[in-house]
Structure 1
Amino acid sequence: MSEEIQRILFLAPKVHIYAVPPLTSNTGHKAATWNVDQPNSLIFTARIRIIETATLSADGAENENVRTDVRLEDPKTGDLFANCPYEGAHCVEQVTDSSRFFAVRVVDSGRKAMLGIGFEERSEAFDFGVSLQEIRRHAESAASGGAGAGKRGKKTDEAAAAAEKKKDYSLKEGETINITIGNKGRRRAPSSPKTSSDSGGGGSGGALPFLPPPPSAEDVKRNRMSQHGLEDFSKIGFDGKLGFDDDAFGDFV
């Protein structure tokens, strides 16, 4: 079982209704051709309302079909005089020579006719036009929103399918990873050894050769003795004496 909820978008207590002659050009309707300045051209004075009707299902969810009607009613009894199902800008058109008059397409049992309406106050006519503009804007937004939701749903499905195909980043057999952090871990090219002639230049930027360690005291002593033809006395058993008695009273040989 469905339920209908109605909302009034616009209300004006008095609007004058006129007969609209057929259009003779594509320039639009003109209030001057309705003879609005003559009393006998007036058909009826009605109350005008814009009503939005939404149909709700049993669970309270709103259906996609939302109907909007521009109703011309008897101001005393509220009976319907003429109804205009508002489906777009072509249903209600403002005349080209006035801001207070509109041409309205009414429908009755499948038959269509054009009626002219005129507001006594410009402010009411302005509010009427703004209400119709808001209805069109909401309808276009709802239509584009539905299409956008469909596109977003499609993109979500594609993203989910792509997420399932995960790439395998594991290392295969024999594969390695080289990681370089700054200058660490980099091997320097081996430098060629420098000769003594290369180091002799003594440039500030040249590398110094490695020097041998200094000789020990024993090596120095042995070197000096060999230069004088002497041997190491520790090996010949003379207790360090040089072949003569160093006693104070010893004899010379």
Structure 2
Amino acid sequence: MDSYESVLLVKPEVYVFNIPPRYSNRGYRAADWNLTEPQWTGRMRLVAKGNEVAIKLEDKNTGELFAKCPIETYPGVAIESVTDSSRYFVLRIQDDTGRAAYIGIGFGDRSDSFDLNVALQDHFKWVKKEKQISEEPSAPSLDLGFKEGETIKINMKITKKDGSEGNSKTKGKVGGTSGLGLLPPPPSGKLPAPPGSSPAGSPSHVPKPDSTVAGDSWGEFTSAQSSASVPQQSSTNANWVQF
């Protein structure tokens, strides 16, 4: 996919000047230009496409391109500051055939030239950082998947209804037995009393044999006991053996 063109900076007014040839390496001076009569006035746009950046001078009304200055490095030969002012620069413009020429540009406000400096510096810092990242060896990817035969152990705490915590693991034996437990005690916590017995703490009542019957002293005791009504067992103690 082709990179799209992004706009880094727009200045609505910039002045273009014809500049005399430079006969020495001392640099360009804006005082040598005819600053009162610019050759062209229009809009400046600083645009980037991928790592490439360029200054475009366009008509402020129609947007028609007047000149284009591709910039490979900054500072560099494509754009140079003059030696006697911070508001003026020398651009090396190029056409589609590759022919190049040098022109002078200037801004009415020093803040406009400062913004151009900062935008160019930020762009080339970004290009340098991207190059460093691309040259760094990529870190090996981590394989976090389970290998064949690998397992995972999880300990879970389970909260019971009474609020206590227990482990999810279960034991094969309970209380040292083979899994068979004793029946719980009856609800009262005591064994049921046999029928006919007196409550705890009171003397038991045993019927005395009638002294008038000499030959069968146990007969009346038997009849008296058999005639006594046996209380019916409650359904809750149906499983208990009567003593």
TM score, norm. by length of structure 1: 0.51
The structure 2 residue matched to 1:100, chosen from 73, 77, 87, is 87
Aligned equivalents of 1:81, 1:106: Cα separation in 2: 10
Moved over 3 A (4+): none
1:33 and 2:46 are equivalent in the alignment: no
What is the match of residue 134 of structure 1?
122
Aligned equivalents of 2:59, 2:124: Cα separation in 1: 27
TM score, norm. by length of structure 2: 0.53
Aligned equivalents of 1:68, 1:84: Cα separation in 2: 9
Aligned residues: 138
What is the match of residue 192 of structure 1?
none
Change (3 A) 1:102 1:140: same
- Between Structure 1 and Structure 2, which shows a larger proportion of helix residues? 1
CA drift at 1:135: 1.5
Change (3 A) 1:145 1:81: same
What is the match of residue 73 of structure 1?
58
Aligned equivalents of 1:3, 1:146: Cα separation in 2: 19
What is the match of residue 45 of structure 2?
49
The structure 2 residue matched to 1:119, chosen from 107, 126, 143, is 107
Matched AA of 1:74: D
Q: Deviations over 1:174-229 (max 9, x none)?
A: xxxxxxxxxxxxxxxxxxxxxxxxxxxxxxxxxxxxxxxxxxxxxxxxxxxxxxxx
Q: Deviations over 1:133-188 (max 9, x none)?
A: 112211222223333x1xx35x97xxxxxxxxxxxxxxxxxxxxxxxxxxxxxxxx
Aligned equivalents of 1:125, 1:132: Cα separation in 2: 11
Matched AA of 2:66: F
Q: What secondary structure sits across from 1:143 in the alignment?
A: helix
Q: Deviations over 1:24-51 (max 9, x none)?
A: 2212111111121x32xx1100100011
Matched AA of 2:123: I
Aligned equivalents of 2:29, 2:53: Cα separation in 1: 26
Aligned equivalents of 1:4, 1:98: Cα separation in 2: 36
Identity %: 36
Matched AA of 1:113: A
**Stretches of structure 1 lacking an aligned partner (at least 5 in a row):** 55-65, 157-253
CA RMSD in angstroms comes to 1.9
Change (3 A) 1:27 1:140: farther
Matched AA of 1:95: V
Q: Aligned runs of 1:161-172 on 2, under 5 Å? A: none
